[in-house]
Structure 1
């Protein structure tokens, strides 16, 4: 489940494209991230919160999607110009460490494991979708999805993964845009007053847990940001720049680095823009059609399909189910692939393998991918309320992983080589985005923590 492209080689140096058409031809890592970004958050968590709170959380949805772009770019900038994986990048920062691994990385690893409850919910919800459309038992569907994911990832070729995810992304993006257009021609049409309500910048009572889970679910979340450098490296960006020239990089290296950083920014922008449009689509139609209803259980995806069926009849269910499958399965595939790479990165950081030992790295990537996929499969055998696990994992991602990664990224941003560092305006927006995210999390955390008893009760009673 790994390719030799992971480690930037001494060969393959390439000048960056100068025209927009050439830049767009090189984007890809962001599409892979989008395959993970647009998933359970959009299909399960977003419509569920829209059903609970109506249009009042629209501003949180947009904020969660847009504001993280500056964080994603700065993490990508640091890793690309230094040819580092995410864990290696965090380890390069000052601070306490254990077995040469930075405490931020260690704490993030713990948070990541708990946030993976989301994937158990995704696998179960996708199996429930197969049950509703094909009549298969949920356990049978889960096993088949497990096998299909392993089969797809076994070759480990980045280009294969990128192509598969691009097809899935196109499927669910087209689906939700069709849905939004259909709703606007129905009794559920979204009105201007409802949009205004969505930008009231207020939080409804009891929305603290929902807000934090949305921050951990929408846009390029902390986990997707953590994954992004792996796809940058495997997509060849660092190889095209060439190994960092120490101690005095040449003018040619700086020029290539600036050029490929521009490509990376466009790549991240396209991913953010697509995720924002699709997420807004899911939220708006969810609030319009599902407002005030109970959405959940093994039929959670079918419940959300009311967006279609109650607007245009039973025939439209096919459109939704295809889009829903693409949405959930793409997340399952991308996160499974990334989890294996993250596991190998941590294993190398802790000194158990050498990262540049391709054979050992491939073996560990496969082991971690199989381990987590098997855990998610086991969860699917007993889970009946997958949306509870989806929301819990995303809340962990929002409350724990997001602040940890924000601290690391801000430290990285001001340690980049001055000739490649962000400008004053970008630095301003980076700090503003961090301040907004931190204040939103801090304002919502007390209410969320006060209601954790109910959250755990929902997991226990599943």
Structure 2
């Protein structure tokens, strides 16, 4: 389904050369062969909040906020498309684009400095992902002591961290795409199987439930819960940022080539932009359907019992309910899905975050980002160091859900900064020929309003000011 570019070790995926240009595919079927960055993004998005946070939110709200899962995912995807459009046309990473947004502080833009601060907060969330995966593995196979015992959790945390580092040690995009594609296939299949089995249990859902969930209502006192759900679903600001690196390493910008002002280059750009848009669409569909599945689990199974589990109990409670209703096979299916979801998110982070920190060092002037050997060395250093830090954070706090919530607040604030950057870049650095049409611009404006509201809510939360009940 995908074409994974195999670059020679001495070729730079971030350098645009005239000899690397490629005629874009013209048919839908041909474009499917060039998908890939969206699959990596899906692995990153589904798991960071969906399995733990979205399931818990479904347990709290029931079906009534089902519509917000769809809207939350749909609204933010337009910002992702605009940022990727700039990347393909200019060949620059998102962090480089953020540096163009004034005012500048030293060698970097203010958004770059904001990213540094908020990515530190995201480390808590990444620790939570490792913890969730360790908990799922411990329930499935407590290799030492009882399930969820301290010893079992520590050992699984170490195993997950080491395996992910080894998988990503080559720092090659082709490896990232293959690993995440397998993980996405696993968690998508297992999750849908469980949701489709629910109607045959005492926790069945009905058409009336979906009618309630699509009524666009927010219950009294649930504004805070609704905004939290909007922030936790769909593509986050860090995911949008990461996506530009995968578009570059897949080859979309390289195959478009440097801007030489010719009509041939413009036609190539239009063709590869269409591939990117299809890639985003497929990713959005998978992310939305999987998130809906997790929400339905919470609303169907947990909400009727008033069971709103916290921390590791999210995985324990849901897996045991499946066992009680469907038998042991369902617990196995759920745990396979849980491990695949959380591990794929972790692997995607191990692949992406070292690239971003290395790029940041380059923007600071500490290293030469354009030197392939130097860049590769620093990416590999961060690939070892950062996962160890995330694992330590989880073992210290021991609550995946709490860690995920801390990271989600930081991500919501950064999302507003990304939005500012996107509007400036599309206005000043994207030729009118390639800008989105009036309808898409209107949708982006609606997204701007919604995202701004989310950012304001997140700031109120930080300062302890209640924006609504729930």
- Select which of 91, 96, 99 maps to 1:91: 99
CA distances 1:16-61 after superposition (whole Å, capped 9, x unpaired): 0001111000010011001101113111000011112222322221
Instruction: Work out whether 1:408 is the aligned partner of 2:415.
Output: no
Matches within 5 A, 1:426-445: 426-442=440-456
Cα deviation for residue 175 of structure 1 reads 1.0
Instruction: Work out whether 1:126 is the aligned partner of 2:133.
Output: yes
Matches within 5 A, 1:77-116: 77-93=85-101, 95-116=102-123
Instruction: Tell me the equivalent position of 1:75.
Output: 83
Does the Cα contact within 8 Å between 1:209 and 1:447 map onto a contact in 2?
no
Cα deviation for residue 440 of structure 1 reads 4.6
Q: Using the alignment, how far apart are the partners of 2:15 and 2:335 within structure 1?
A: 38
Q: Give TM-score, length-normalised by structure 1.
A: 0.92
Q: Using the alignment, how far apart are the partners of 2:454 and 2:374 within structure 1?
A: 42
Cα deviation for residue 15 of structure 1 reads 0.4
Cα deviation for residue 443 of structure 1 reads 5.6
Instruction: Tell me the equivalent position of 1:40.
Output: 48
CA distances 1:139-170 after superposition (whole Å, capped 9, x unpaired): 11011111101100011121111011001001
Matches within 5 A, 1:52-451: 52-93=60-101, 95-136=102-143, 137-204=152-219, 207=222, 210-245=225-260, 249-291=261-303, 292-306=306-320, 308-398=322-412, 400-415=413-428, 416-442=430-456, 446=460, 449-450=463-464
Cα 1:283/1:306, change in 2 over 3 Å = farther
Cα deviation for residue 200 of structure 1 reads 3.9
Deviates more, 1:416-425 or 1:265-274: 416-425
Cα 1:106/1:124, change in 2 over 3 Å = same
Cα 1:199/1:44, change in 2 over 3 Å = same
Q: CA RMSD in A?
A: 2.1
CA distances 1:262-290 after superposition (whole Å, capped 9, x unpaired): 00000001101110011011101211101
Cα 1:135/1:2, change in 2 over 3 Å = farther
Q: Using the alignment, how far apart are the partners of 2:349 and 2:391 within structure 1?
A: 14
Provide runs of 4+ in structure 1 moved above 6 Å: none
Q: Using the alignment, how far apart are the partners of 2:117 and 2:458 within structure 1?
A: 22
Q: Using the alignment, how far apart are the partners of 1:173 and 1:61 within structure 2?
A: 17
Structure 1: tracts of 5 or more residues without a match? 453-462
Q: Using the alignment, how far apart are the partners of 1:3 and 1:289 within structure 2?
A: 52
Deviates more, 1:189-198 or 1:125-134: 189-198
Cα deviation for residue 336 of structure 1 reads 1.4
Cα deviation for residue 418 of structure 1 reads 1.1
Instruction: Work out whether 1:29 is the aligned partner of 2:37.
Output: yes
Does the Cα contact within 8 Å between 2:137 and 2:156 map onto a contact in 1?
yes
Does the Cα contact within 8 Å between 1:206 and 1:447 map onto a contact in 2?
no
Deviates more, 1:52-61 or 1:417-426: 52-61
Cα deviation for residue 5 of structure 1 reads 2.2
Instruction: Tell me the equivalent position of 2:5.
Output: none
Count of matched residue pairs: 447
Does the Cα contact within 8 Å between 1:2 and 1:157 map onto a contact in 2?
no
Instruction: Work out whether 1:18 is the aligned partner of 2:30.
Output: no
Q: Using the alignment, how far apart are the partners of 2:404 and 2:420 within structure 1?
A: 25
Q: Using the alignment, how far apart are the partners of 2:225 and 2:121 within structure 1?
A: 18
Q: Using the alignment, how far apart are the partners of 1:451 and 1:125 within structure 2?
A: 29
Instruction: Tell me the equivalent position of 2:6.
Output: none
CA distances 1:332-370 after superposition (whole Å, capped 9, x unpaired): 000111100100111111111121111111122122232
- Helix, strand or coil for the counterpart of 2:307? coil
Does the Cα contact within 8 Å between 1:182 and 1:311 map onto a contact in 2?
no
Deviates more, 1:314-323 or 1:197-206: 197-206
Cα deviation for residue 394 of structure 1 reads 1.4
Does the Cα contact within 8 Å between 1:286 and 1:307 map onto a contact in 2?
no
Cα deviation for residue 433 of structure 1 reads 1.5
Instruction: Tell me the equivalent position of 1:459.
Output: none
